[in-house]
Each structure stands twice: as C-alpha cells, then as structure tokens.
C-alpha cells in the first residue's frame, strides 16, 4: 500500500507514479520487457550490428559515417533480419535503449513522408524473447 502525506491532486499523482514504478519493477523481475523495432529503408540498404554495448547502423541514407546508439546496462539487443529486439528486466533501461536506437537514425531536414528510412518501435511486449 502506497500513501502520501500530500493532500489533493499532487498527492494522488505522486502515489500513482510510485505505485506504477513498483508494479513495473515486479513485472520486470517476474516476466521481463521486450521492445521490437523495425528497420525500414527504401533508398539505401541499412545494416545493423551489435558490438558490445553499442548498436552500429551502417549505410544510413548512403552515409559513409556509422551511426552509433548506446545500449544501457542489463539490456540485451538482438538483430533478427529486419527486426531489432531489445529485452531486459528494467522497463526504463529497455525503453531508453530503444529510444537511443530510434534517435540514432533520426533525419533532420528531410520530408518524413518521402524519406522514411530509419529504425522504429512497432511493438512493446511484456515477457522476454
């Protein structure tokens, strides 16, 4: 049971936040969390590799420079064809790693309706894969 000394809306918000974090910790330890990302390209074929605690994206929009995303501690990343599977027991670390991978392939200055190349989250699951 989570309670707060604060009254009103702020107290209820704080209680709800802490209760949600505790539920996520329990779910993570018992079942785990998995995020699935899809590699999408239309102009240049993308290649994604896992090197230690980094995810390396090569040939993004024909760039010679490799793009790198950091993998947080306690998170496993696998590349399965056009899918990148991020899994672990800490929801915040798993979701931050997925966000790092998405941000590594973000394009500035391009029309997103035409240039959809990138890596995007398409499924969030409870349970390790």
Look at residue 110 in the predicted model and tell me its pLDDT.
83
Q: How far is 112 from 119, CA to CA, in rounded Å?
A: 13
pTM: 0.87
Structure tokens at 104: 């590594």
Structure tokens at 16: 């709800």
Q: What is the pLDDT along the chain (129 residues), one digit of tens a residue?
A: 777 777 889 988 999 999 999 999 999 999 999 999 999 988 789 999 999 999 999 988 888 999 999 999 999 999 999 999 999 999 999 999 999 999 999 888 888 788 888 999 999 999 887
DSSP string, 46-97: -EEEEETTEEEEESGGG-SSPEEEEPPTTEEEEEETTEEEEEES-HHHHHHH
Class in CATH terms, 32-126? alpha beta
What residue spans define the domains of the chain?
Answer: 1-30, 32-126
How are strands ordered across the β-sheet holding 33-40? Answer: 75-80, 83-88, 33-40, 118-126
């Amino acid at each position: 049971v989570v309670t707060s000394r604060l009254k009103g809306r702020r107290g209820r918000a704080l209680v709800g936040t802490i209760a949600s974090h505790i539920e996520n910790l329990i779910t993570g330890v018992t079942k785990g969390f998995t995020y699935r990302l899809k590699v999408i390209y239309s102009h240049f074929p993308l290649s994604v590799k896992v090197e230690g605690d980094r995810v390396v994206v090569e040939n993004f929009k024909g760039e010679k420079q490799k793009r790198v995303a950091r993998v947080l501690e306690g998170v496993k990343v696998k590349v399965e064809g056009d899918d990148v599977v991020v899994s672990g027991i800490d929801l915040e670390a798993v979701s931050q790693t997925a966000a790092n991978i998405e941000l590594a392939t973000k394009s500035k200055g391009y029309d997103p309706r035409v240039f959809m190349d990138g890596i995007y989250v398409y499924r969030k699951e409870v349970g390790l894969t």
